Amino acid sequence: MSDSALLLEVRDVAKRFDSVVALKAASLKVRPGEVHGLMGANGAGKSTLVKIITGVFPADSGQISVKGVARSFRSPAEARRAGIVSVYQDPALVPDLTIAQNMRLAGASLDAVRKWLAELGVAGLDFNLLVRDLPGPALRLIDLARALAWEPAVLLLDEITASLPADLSEQIYAMVKQWRERGNAVIFISHRMAEVSALCDRATVLRDGVTAGVTERAHGSEERIVALMLGAETARAVASVPSTRAPRQRSSDAQAALEVRRLGRSPLVNEVSFKLYSGEVLGVAALEGQGQDELFDCIAGSRRYDEGAIFAHGKELRLRHPADAIAAGIVLVPANRLLALLQQRPILENIALPAFGGIRNWGPIRIRAERTRVESAIERLQIDTRAGSELSRLSGGNQQKVVVARWLASGFDTLLCFDPTRGIDIGTKRQIYALVREIAAAGSAVLLFTSELAEIALACDRAIVLFGGRVVAEMPVSEADEAALLRAAHGLAPLGQASS
Amino acid sequence: MKGPDASGMRLLERLRRALRRDPSLFFMPALLIASLAITLAIHPQFSDFDLQSLAMGALPLAFAAAAQTVVVISGGLDLSIGSAMAVANVLAARTMEKASFEQSLPLAVAVLIAGAAIGALNGLIVVLSRIPDVVATLTSGFIWGGVALIILEKPGGGAPPDFLNLGTGTLFTPWMPNALVLLVVAVGAIWIPLRRSKLALQLYAVGSDRVAAFRSGVNIGRTRFAAYVFSGLFSAVGGLGLTMTTGIGAPLAGVYYTLSGLAAVVVGGVSLAGGRGGMLGPVMAAFVLTLIPTDLIFLNIDPNFGQVILGTLIVVIVMIGGFVDMGRNRK
C-alpha cells in the first residue's frame, strides 16, 4: 500500500520531558479500515505518542501526516477537526458540568452522542446529571460516545477497557469492529494481550520510546509481540542478575512479617493474598493500573479496604491512618517523592519528621540524640548533603534516599517500596537496590513494586504478579525473568502450561 | 390524573437537582430572609429609609462580589478588585464634577471601558506570564491603588445630582430604592447573557478541571482572560456605584472591598476551588454582610466587638456550607 493511502503516519517522533526521554523514534502507520494495536511495556511511550498525535503537546522532532499531508496539531480541538479523536486514559469530562453541558462545551451533537450511547447499550441516560455524580465506567462510555459523535477517521482508544466490567468491554469491541467496517481506523492501546489478539488487525510495538516492530497480523502473534516488547536488552539484563541467592531457610511454622489475606477493595483489588517473611524481598510485578497502587495504599493505611485482613507477625491490624501502619512497623516509600517529602525544608528535618508524628511528641526535641540518629542514616545511604538546606535542590535519586533514610532513622519492620526507581538514573538505581538487599539482610521484610520488570530479578527473592487486581502468578526469582513476568502480567499462561 | 402528577414530580426532581448542584440557591435566600427578619425584630421601626441605606450600603459590595465570582468560578482569584473600584470611583468623580447629566452618561461608559481594560491587563499578566494569579493581582492592585491616588489625591470631586440619584433615589415608591434596581439591572444585564453563552460553560469547565476542559477543546488562556475582563467590568460598575452612593470620589474607599467581596463570594456558596457556584449567592451574601453590622449597631454593640462577631458569623456560615458540601460528596 502506498504511503499516500495511509490515514495516519507518524515518523520518528521524539519527545523529552526535562531530563526524561519519553519517545526517541516512534513510528506508526495506520491504514483505513483497520484496528491497529499499540503495545509496549510500562513507560514505553504509548500514552505520550497518543498525546502527541492528538495535539495535547507538541513533538520535539519527527513528522505526523494525515492522509498524506504533514500536520502538527496544537490542541485536541485542532486534531479533532482533522478527523483524529482520542479517548484518553482519564475521562476528559468536566466534573462540575452536566453531560449535556459537557457535550455543548466540546461542540458535540447531543443527538449523535445519544445515538452512539444507545449503540453501546446505554439507553435513556439523563443528560442533566452532573458528571461528578456518575460512576467511572459510565464516564468512559460517554467519553467514547462523544468521540464517535465527531465521526473521526482515526479513533484512538487508550486503555479504554482497563477499568470496565467484561460486559461493557464486549460492547466496546463490537463498536470498534463497526467503526472499522465503515472504512475508518482505530488505534487500540491495551495491556490485555487476549483483547489485542482478538480485535486488532495489526500491531505496532513500542519499546523504550522506539518502534520495535510491527506485526502484520495481531492474531496468533502474541509470542512475537512479547519478544518485541522485551527486545535484545533482556539478554543483557539476565546476564547482570547477581549470583542466584540461595532460597532462604524457613521453618514451616515461621510467622510472616506481613500477611495479606483475601484483601479486597472494589473494583481494583480482588482477593489478594500473600505472605512476606522477615529477611525477604518480595517483588510485585504488574502493568499499569492492575491494582498495585491501591494494594500498597491499603497496606500503608492511607486507603480503606472492603474485605480481607492484614496481619503483622500474626497479629491482625486495624489500619485507619498511615500512623497505624507506621506504629505496626509498616512504612511506605512512595513512587512520587513529592508526596513524602517537604521540599522547602532541610534534609535533617525531613529525615527526623516521622519520629515526631505522635501527639505525645509535641514537646521539645532532643536535638543531639536526633542528630546522631539522622546522621548515621545519612552516612549509611551515602546521601550527598552538600545541598542540605533545602531538599528541593537534591537530585531525584538523593531525594529517594532521604525517604528511605527517614525510615531507617525512625526504625521499621516492613518496608513497602512502590516503584522507588522511577525516573532515577542507573547508578542511583543500583545503589537503591543494593540498599533494599541490605535492609532485608538486616532482618526486615521488603515488599517491592517496580514498573520495570527486569528489576525484579535484581532485587527480589520471590515475585507475585498482579493482573486485573488479582494475584495471577507467584514464582521464585530464579524463574522470574522478564519474559515470564511479562507474560503473566499480560494475563497469559506460562509457556509450559500454554498447551495443557 | 397522571399528567399533572408526573409534571409535579418532574418539578420536584428538578428542584432537588438544582439544590444538589448549588445548595446556596436555597440557603442564601433563607439566610437573607432570616437576617431581614432579625433586623425587623430588633428594629421594628424599619422604614423605607432603612431599606434605602441598606441597598446603598450593599451596592458596591455586591458588585465587588460579582467581580470576584466570575474569576473564582474560572478557578482564579482577583485581589485587585478593590483598587480597580477605586480607580473607577475617582475617575468618575473627577471627570463628572462639572458635567451635566447628559454628559455624565458617556463618561460612565468610558469608566466601564477603563475597568474592563484594567481587567484585561490583569488577565494578560496572569495568562501570559504564568505568575500565580494571587501574586499577579495583588501587585497590580498596588499599582491601581497608586493610580487612583494620582487621579485624585484626596477625597473630592462629584457628579451631577441626577446621576447620583441613580444610586440614592427611589423608583415609584420609597420602598423601591434605585440602588436595588441598578444592582438587579446591571448584574442581570451582564450575567444573564453571559450565563447563557458558551463562554460561561467554558468558565465553569476551566475552573472545574483544566485538563478535561483543554481536552474538550476549550482555549484555557482565552477563557481565563475573559474572566478577568468581566471582573474589571463589574469592578468598574462597583466604582460607579460608590460614586453614586457617596457623591464623591475617595481614592482609598475601594480597597476595603477586595476582601469583603471575597467574603461575600465564600458565604454565597462559590467554591474557591473553582467550577461551582452562581451569581445569586454572592450578591445576596453582600446584603447579609451589610445587614449584620447594621443590626449590631441597632443592638448598641461596640463596633470593635461588632467586627469580631461579624467575622465569627462568616466562619460559621462558611462551615455550615462546608458541611452541606461534605454530606453531598459522601453520598
The CB-side HSE value for A62 (13 A sphere, CA atoms) comes to 24
The single-letter DSSP state of residue A364 is -
The single-letter DSSP state of residue A255 is P
Contacts of A94 in chain B (CB under 8 A): 204-205, 208-209, 212-213, 216, 275
pLDDT of residue A291 exceeding 80: yes
Q: What is the pLDDT of residue A389?
A: 62
Query: Residue A416: beta bridge partners?
Result: A332, A447
Does B58 or A218 have the greater pLDDT score? B58
Q: What residues in chain A have their Cβ under 8 A from chain B's Cβ atoms? A: 56, 75-77, 80, 88, 90-97, 101-102, 104-107, 128, 130
CB contact under 8 A, A95 and B209: yes
Can you list the alpha helix ranges (DSSP code H) found in A220-346? 222-230, 233-239, 292-299, 322-327, 337-340
> From the CB of residue A312, how many other CB atoms can be counted at a distance below 10 Å?
22
Nearest to A24 by CA among A55, A50, A56, A62: A62
Instruction: Give buried/exposed letters for A257-282 (b at 16+ CB in 10 A, else e).
Output: bbbbeebbbebbbbebebbbbbbbbb
Contacts of B219 in chain A (CB under 8 A): 75
Grid coordinates in use for B189? 444585564
Name the average pLDDT for chain A: 81
| pLDDT confidence tier of residue B3, bands split at 50, 70 and 90 | very low
Q: What is the pLDDT of residue A237?
A: 44
Least confident range from A495-499, B24-28, B194-198: namely: A495-499
Cα of B218 to nearest chain A Cα, Å: 7
Cα of B73 to nearest chain A Cα, Å: 11
Cα of A133 to nearest chain B Cα, Å: 9
Whole-angstrom distance, CA of residue A405 vs CA of residue A399? 10
Whole-angstrom distance, CA of residue A26 vs CA of residue A204? 10
CB contact under 8 A, A92 and B216: yes
Q: CA separation (Å) from A385 to A290, A328, A379, A390, A393?
A: 37, 30, 10, 10, 10
Whole-angstrom distance, CA of residue A25 vs CA of residue A207? 10
Q: What is the pLDDT of residue A253?
A: 54
Q: What pTM did the predictor assign?
A: 0.76
Cα of B8 to nearest chain A Cα, Å: 18
Query: A204, A156 in Cβ contact below 8 A?
Result: no
Contacts of A143 in chain B (CB under 8 A): none
Contacts of A105 in chain B (CB under 8 A): 198, 201-202, 205, 213, 216-218
Q: Which residues have C-beta within 8 Å of that of residue B304, sequence separation ≥ 6?
A: none
Highest mean pLDDT among A60-64, A253-257, B84-88 belongs to B84-88
Query: A64, A52 in Cβ contact below 8 A?
Result: yes
| Locus of grid cell 482609598 | B252
Query: B83, B255 in Cβ contact below 8 A?
Result: yes
Whole-angstrom distance, CA of residue A438 vs CA of residue A455? 16
Nearest to A127 by CA among A93, A152, A100: A100
pLDDT of residue A160 exceeding 80: yes
3-class DSSP state of A96: coil
Contacts of A101 in chain B (CB under 8 A): 201, 204
Grid coordinates in use for B245? 452612593
Query: B226, B203 in Cβ contact below 8 A?
Result: yes
Q: What is the pLDDT of residue A99?
A: 92
Whole-angstrom distance, CA of residue B93 vs CA of residue B250? 9
Average pLDDT (B78-105) is 92
- Which member of A80, A88, A94 has the closest CB to residue B213? A94
Query: B73, B274 in Cβ contact below 8 A?
Result: yes
pLDDT of residue A227 exceeding 70: yes
Whole-angstrom distance, CA of residue B177 vs CA of residue B55? 7
DSSP 3-state percent helix, strand, coil across chain A (nearest 5): 40, 25, 40
Cα of A256 to nearest chain B Cα, Å: 37
pLDDT of residue A485 exceeding 80: yes
Average pLDDT (B64-77) is 95
The residue of chain A with its CA nearest to that of B196 is A101
Contacts of B20 in chain A (CB under 8 A): 130
- Proportion of chain A above pLDDT 90, given as a percent: 19
Nearest to A463 by CA among A486, A438, A435, A429: A486
Distance between terminal CA atoms of chain A? Answer: 40
Q: What is the pLDDT of residue A246?
A: 47
Least confident range from A69-83, A240-254, A312-326, B274-288: namely: A240-254
| Locus of grid cell 510500562 | A42
B198 touches chain A (CB under 8 A): yes
The residue of chain B with its CA nearest to that of A108 is B216
Q: What is the pLDDT of residue A498?
A: 43
Contacts of A56 in chain B (CB under 8 A): 214-215
The CB-side HSE value for A24 (13 A sphere, CA atoms) comes to 9
Q: What is the pLDDT of residue A218?
A: 67
- Per residue in B251-267, pLDDT (tens digit) is 888 888 998 999 999 98
Whole-angstrom distance, CA of residue A439 vs CA of residue A377? 12
pLDDT of residue A371 exceeding 90: no
| pLDDT confidence tier of residue A338, bands split at 50, 70 and 90 | low
Cα of B276 to nearest chain A Cα, Å: 7
Q: CA separation (Å) from A78 to A53, A74, A75, A93?
A: 11, 7, 5, 18
CA B184 vs. chain centroid, Å, equals 12
| pLDDT confidence tier of residue B238, bands split at 50, 70 and 90 | very high
Average pLDDT (B33-50) is 88
Cα of B15 to nearest chain A Cα, Å: 12
| Locus of grid cell 509450559 | A496
Query: A264, A271 in Cβ contact below 8 A?
Result: yes
CB contact under 8 A, A97 and B208: yes
B21 touches chain A (CB under 8 A): yes
Average pLDDT (B273-300) is 89
Q: What is the 3-state secondary structure (H, E, C) of A111-140?
A: HHHHHHHHHCCCCCCCCCCEHHHCCHHHHH
Name the average pLDDT for chain B: 88
**Can you point out the beta strands (E) in A193-306?**
202-207, 210-215, 258-265, 269-276, 281-285
Backbone dihedral angles phi then psi of residue A262, each to the nearest 5 degrees:
45, 50
- Per residue in B164-176, pLDDT (tens digit) is 888 888 888 888 8
pLDDT of residue A139 exceeding 80: yes
- Which member of B21, B198, B209 has the closest CB to residue A94? B209
B248 touches chain A (CB under 8 A): no
Average pLDDT (A343-348) is 73
Cα of B75 to nearest chain A Cα, Å: 12
Q: What is the pLDDT of residue A176?
A: 92
- Proportion of chain A above pLDDT 70, given as a percent: 83
pLDDT of residue A185 exceeding 70: yes
- Which member of B215, B219, B275 has the closest CB to residue A96? B275
pLDDT of residue B82 exceeding 50: yes
pLDDT of residue A356 exceeding 80: no
Highest mean pLDDT among A181-195, A384-398, B211-225 belongs to B211-225
CB contact under 8 A, B201 and A105: yes
| pLDDT confidence tier of residue A393, bands split at 50, 70 and 90 | low
Grid coordinates in use for A157? 482508544
The residue of chain B with its CA nearest to that of A90 is B212
Whole-angstrom distance, CA of residue B226 vs CA of residue B219? 11
Contacts of B207 in chain A (CB under 8 A): 96
DSSP per position, B249-318: B-TTTTTHHHHHHHHHHHHTT--TTSS---SHHHHHHHHHHHHHHHHHHHTT--HHHHHHHHHHHHHHHH
Chain B, residues 257-286, CB within 8 A of chain A, namely: 275-276
Query: To which H or E segment does residue A11 belong?
Result: strand A8-17
Average pLDDT (A208-234) is 77
Average pLDDT (B266-270) is 88
| pLDDT confidence tier of residue A270, bands split at 50, 70 and 90 | confident
Average pLDDT (A191-216) is 85
- Which member of B21, B205, B209 has the closest CB to residue A130? B21
- Which member of A90, A93, A105 has the closest CB to residue B218? A105
Whole-angstrom distance, CA of residue A269 vs CA of residue A289? 10
B204 touches chain A (CB under 8 A): yes
CB contact under 8 A, A94 and B212: yes
Q: What is the pLDDT of residue B7?
A: 61
Amino acid identity at A475 = M
The single-letter DSSP state of residue A21 is E
B7 touches chain A (CB under 8 A): no
- Proportion of chain B above pLDDT 90, given as a percent: 49
- List the Cα angle A240/A246/A251 in 5-degree steps: 150
The single-letter DSSP state of residue B156 is B
- Per residue in A76-94, pLDDT (tens digit) is 889 999 999 999 877 789 9
pLDDT of residue B118 exceeding 80: yes
Cα of B223 to nearest chain A Cα, Å: 12
| Locus of grid cell 519474559 | A483
Query: B54, B287 in Cβ contact below 8 A?
Result: yes
Average pLDDT (A276-289) is 87
| pLDDT confidence tier of residue A240, bands split at 50, 70 and 90 | very low
3-class DSSP state of A150: coil
Whole-angstrom distance, CA of residue A186 vs CA of residue A152? 9
CB contact under 8 A, B215 and A56: yes
CB contact under 8 A, B215 and A92: yes
CA B204 vs. chain centroid, Å, equals 17
